[in-house]
Structure 1
Amino acid sequence: MKKSSYILSAVLLICLYVFNAGAQEKVVPLNRNMAYSNPELKPFKSKKQRASLPFIDDFSYEGPYPDATLWQDNKAYINNTMSATQLTRGVATLDGLNEFGRPYYPQPFNSGLADSLTSVPIDLSTYTSIDSIYLSFYYQPQGLGFAPESTDSLFLYFKNDLNQWVRMWQMRGTGISNFKYVILPVMHAQFLHGDFQFRFINIASLNINDDIWNLDYIKMGVKRTEIDTTMKDVAFSVEPTSILKNYSSMPYRHFIANQANETSLVNDVVVNNLDGVPHAVTLNLDAREFISSSAVNNQNLASVNIAAKSSSQQSFASYPISYVPPTNKSKVVVRNKYFYPSVNSGDRKANDTIVKDAVFDNYFAYDDGSAEKSYFLLPAVNFPSKTALQFTLNEADTLRGLMVHFGAQVPTALGKYFSIVFVQIARQSGFFRFHYPPGRFV
């Protein structure tokens, strides 16, 4: 038999032996945020400097920490994956996990003050009420996580000239909604001093990333009014879709061996016009192999007219990839950079560009490396539950390892057993051959 005539699939079967009632799939909040476990993550260091007006942050940068030139603490989680309706790429998420991605209090059934997002001092000593200073922001409960309960809340405080924090706004927990807009005056004399600050803080369960609040596009400036809802900005929003059809990551040699079936038909990007007037946007793509900086594709994608305060999703046909790596086992990273020229002087440069990487390494993966919830199986009494993942190979290969992240559990995973079984399936002319490799991991 010729190996090339086979489609080989490796099926990973996980059996969970947990003796509880009811066999069903469940999702629960995370007990750990792995975005903080990157060994290359640089520690957060606030710049200990005063900011000036206008103060604007739309979180269009790499997290997980806030911009240290604008924020004094590092407890909010900066990301672009905890929402599907953000105004611009990037939100600040407040939950029940600390700046290390771990619970504030690991025991269950505890709630209290959790994350905070505190501005650096802002010098307002030269302003008066005539300058009409307002602070605005967008907020969203739940996002792609779990909704805050009615006993949970999101608060906003201002610091006055007596160094006291004054509560100015609050919202009790509720179910998911689109982002809502809030604008508040900063004109009382007690706030017009040299060390003014504002702070968001949430009440949440302190042992999980439950009770999610997302913040976006925080803006403070002069000559504003309570009906000022326009941001003179056009911005990319959610993550672009992957160039891969079946996986988020796979070996490059398997991709090249069957590129037609492994490439997605189209790639999608979302652009939001936050301005009060229409804007024409010229979308461009620069695709490169990131490690070698080799050009992969470069094109003008489309010219799009986006109506005032509206969103536009654009789809573009995928392109063929002919990059040749140094060896057939080399790591390859194809970086798609979408961008457009600024539309006006108020347009923020950082959100005019968005990047999506396709990583080709020595593994197959369905997930994108981020996590919004934990998944588990609740078995029937005295019967193990089972789940399976299938990975299809496009050429002969060898399985050398398995990476699985088992989420932390509260209170403990003690006494919960599992088995991992590998099953190899060979298919030719409709015939299936099952092979069970000897041994199990327990």
Structure 2
Amino acid sequence: MRILHKIVLCTLFTLASLGVEAQFVEFGPVPELKYKSYPESANSSRLASTNSLPFWDDFSQGMDTLKWEFQGSTFSNSMGNNAPSLGVIVFDGVDATGRPYSREIREQGAGDYLTSNPFDLAQLSQENQESLYLSFFWQAGGQAEMPDENDRLTLQLLDADSVWNTVWTINGGADKNPEEFIQEIVQVSEEFLHDKFQFRFVNFGRLAGPFDTWLLDYVFLSFDRDPQDLSYLDRALTRESRLFLGDYSAVPLGIYQEILAEELLPVTNEFKNLEDRFRAMEYSIRLDGESSTVVNLNTPFNPVPNSQERRVFESNTITELPALSTESDIEILTYLTTGDQNLFSVENGDTTFFASVDFRINDTVRSAIPIRDFFAYDGGQADYAAGINQRSGLLAVKYEVDSPVFLTGVSIDFTNPDQADQPIDILVWQDLEETPIYREELLIPLKEAGEELIYFPIDTNIQVQGEFFVGFSQFSNDFIYVGLNKENDQADKIFYNVNGAWAQNEEVRGSLLIRPHISFNAPFAESEIPGQNLRYYPNPVENQLHLVGKYSEMRIFDSFGREIFPDRYQGADEEIINFTDQLPGVYVIRALTSAGPQSFRILVK
């Protein structure tokens, strides 16, 4: 049985220098829009309704449009550090599409908004009016850019005259800790107790890009509270669960079916106890495919979690993976057994449960591991972007395979929609220090709706073994942004070349969203130019290329565009071209047929 394959994939691109020292750098966050899903019946019944009390949202299910209006504010599962629960809302200087609010680099102003849908507070009893408080957690910067001391995050409340009033604000600065979420609690005073009450968060800072970032989580508005009411009968998972197959977050089906148990790492996650007392609890982890593998079942946490404790935990050793016979997903189901339930109150011996606050929803995380035809290091989506600011610079991601495979394509996440129609060359190398073995010129297409990565098919047989490199080069000084994911730090797999020599990345943490697609069998038995009776084989070529069909002229060029003149022999119904004395690499053959000029690429090994 084969051991877990590693493939080396290298992606190249050129970025503008603009007079700045050439280097491999990380750019700002890439906006994510993850909306909470509801059954159709729930959506239709609540479209015209207002929010009700108690009101709670920890954003673990995504962006809830039945509770909020999102104006530029976005979602992230990975940008926060030590968040109260999974999922945070992001405020910065770009809109939901990633476009800056201003082209003026120094312009400052209001950026993103998060606005609650209306509440009817006019009918609250006197007791509930006096005990109505709004609490939330905030963090400066997180894994994004820290806000400066002149930047701020504010909370505003809408009064009965439809005027927004700032009731809380926090400024950025060097004294803010990007590793800590801080909880605030604000009383909702009498002037805001009307039938169309709303509250909103808005950031003020630079508007020319994803700068001065603030994160928000765990918003709770309710009566029967006081300023010291800062704990909750809630235990929450704070991360996505990941199953790393060696270094990889995804592998092709044929590789998955032959993975050895010793190549598997435990599933990891983290919980936060938001209660002000210790709590005995258990966890379970299950892998689901065509069959299921129970890794942990009601495993008690030892020692018992303390008050407000945060703890990373991992699964038992995985000895067996779920069966898969076709390309699909492996789902990792992770859940806590905590005793969490709906928020409740007790009055005169009677208990009232509030359906609007269910603390159980953040006890379960479902994560998908794609088992398709590609390798990936990334966690599935871009958190940030990265690139090189040097004309003809090269960027590479390292993979490796121990058995021969054929490359069928490359998927790349180009995160900036403004770079559509930029010309690039898709390239393949057997070694970074050698001539590319495949080259194809094309334009970066505009992404379709919902499309994360763009797939570039390889139209010829390219067989690789051991380390190999796939990537692209560009023809302009415009920046080309490639998605960067922070969940699986494979920074040492990234290499770049900005001055004629390759260097290993030591600064940017994470994994680039560049994936090689493979096949264990040759995709093409022989090659035929579409629309023409012109065939060529084999490809790759070791000694001789056979060309079958009618043409009046044929020329051959090497990878540098120089015409070469190898020996050619005419057979009964084909021409044989001898590449025995030629260097390994990509060659372009141009033939003049009755339908016009045709060209194709071959690989000489």
TM-score band, normalised by shorter chain:
0.7 to 0.9
Partners of 1:87 and 1:415 in 2: how far apart?
Answer: 42
Q: Which runs of 5+ in 2 are unaligned?
A: 344-357, 442-472, 474-605
Alpha-carbon distance, 1:433 to partner: 11
Aligned to 2:427: 421
Alpha-carbon distance, 1:80 to partner: 1.3
Q: Which runs of 5+ in 1 are unaligned?
A: 426-431
Q: Does 1:376 align with 2:387?
A: yes
The 8 Å contact of residues 59 and 217 in structure 2, kept in 1 or not, is answered as yes
The 8 Å contact of residues 287 and 295 in structure 2, kept in 1 or not, is answered as yes
The 8 Å contact of residues 16 and 419 in structure 1, kept in 2 or not, is answered as no
TM-score when normalising by structure 1? 0.83
- The one-letter code matched in structure 1 to 2:55 is F
Aligned to 2:182: 180
Alpha-carbon distance, 1:15 to partner: 4.8
Match of 1:302 among 299, 302, 306: 299
Partners of 2:33 and 2:405 in 1: how far apart?
Answer: 31
- Tell me the secondary structure at the aligned position of residue 14 of structure 1: coil
Aligned to 1:403: 411
Partners of 1:186 and 1:22 in 2: how far apart?
Answer: 52
Alpha-carbon distance, 1:179 to partner: 0.5
Q: Does 1:340 align with 2:322?
A: no
TM-score when normalising by structure 2? 0.62
- The one-letter code matched in structure 2 to 1:178 is E
Partners of 2:59 and 2:425 in 1: how far apart?
Answer: 42
Partners of 1:187 and 1:322 in 2: how far apart?
Answer: 56
Alpha-carbon distance, 1:127 to partner: 2.3
Larger CA Rg, structure 1 vs 2 = 2
Q: 1:10 to 1:57 in 2, by over 3 A?
A: closer
Length, aligned pairs only: 412
Q: Does 1:219 align with 2:220?
A: yes
- Tell me the secondary structure at the aligned position of residue 27 of structure 1: strand
Alpha-carbon distance, 1:384 to partner: 4.1
Aligned to 1:16: 14
* Identity across matched positions, percent: 23
Partners of 2:12 and 2:207 in 1: how far apart?
Answer: 30
- The one-letter code matched in structure 1 to 2:314 is S
Q: 1:371 to 1:211 in 2, by over 3 A?
A: farther
Q: 1:86 to 1:146 in 2, by over 3 A?
A: same
The 8 Å contact of residues 28 and 384 in structure 2, kept in 1 or not, is answered as yes
Partners of 2:10 and 2:147 in 1: how far apart?
Answer: 35
Q: 1:51 to 1:36 in 2, by over 3 A?
A: closer
Q: 1:6 to 1:169 in 2, by over 3 A?
A: closer
Aligned to 1:59: 59
The 8 Å contact of residues 108 and 207 in structure 2, kept in 1 or not, is answered as yes
Alpha-carbon distance, 1:285 to partner: 1.6
The 8 Å contact of residues 137 and 216 in structure 2, kept in 1 or not, is answered as yes
- Tell me the secondary structure at the aligned position of residue 69 of structure 2: coil
- The one-letter code matched in structure 1 to 2:184 is V
Higher RCO (CA 8 Å, separation ≥ 6 residues): 1
| Structure 1 ranges of 4+ moved more than 6 A | 4-8, 412-418, 432-435
Once the two structures are overlaid, the 10-residue window that deviates more, 358-367 or 18-27, is 18-27
Partners of 1:78 and 1:408 in 2: how far apart?
Answer: 18
1:232-281 per-residue CA deviation (whole Å, 9 max, x = no partner) reads: 111111222333231222212123334346422x2211111100111111
Aligned to 1:272: 272
The 8 Å contact of residues 32 and 74 in structure 2, kept in 1 or not, is answered as no
- Tell me the secondary structure at the aligned position of residue 412 of structure 2: coil
The 8 Å contact of residues 33 and 102 in structure 1, kept in 2 or not, is answered as no
Q: 1:349 to 1:74 in 2, by over 3 A?
A: farther
Q: 1:297 to 1:155 in 2, by over 3 A?
A: same
The 8 Å contact of residues 86 and 238 in structure 2, kept in 1 or not, is answered as yes
- Tell me the secondary structure at the aligned position of residue 407 of structure 2: coil
Partners of 1:200 and 1:230 in 2: how far apart?
Answer: 22
Match of 1:351 among 362, 380, 393: 362
Q: Does 1:281 align with 2:281?
A: yes
Match of 1:89 among 86, 89, 111: 86
The 8 Å contact of residues 296 and 315 in structure 2, kept in 1 or not, is answered as no
What is the root-mean-square deviation of aligned Cα atoms in Å? 3.3
Match of 1:125 among 113, 122, 126: 122
Partners of 2:204 and 2:15 in 1: how far apart?
Answer: 35
Q: 1:21 to 1:205 in 2, by over 3 A?
A: closer
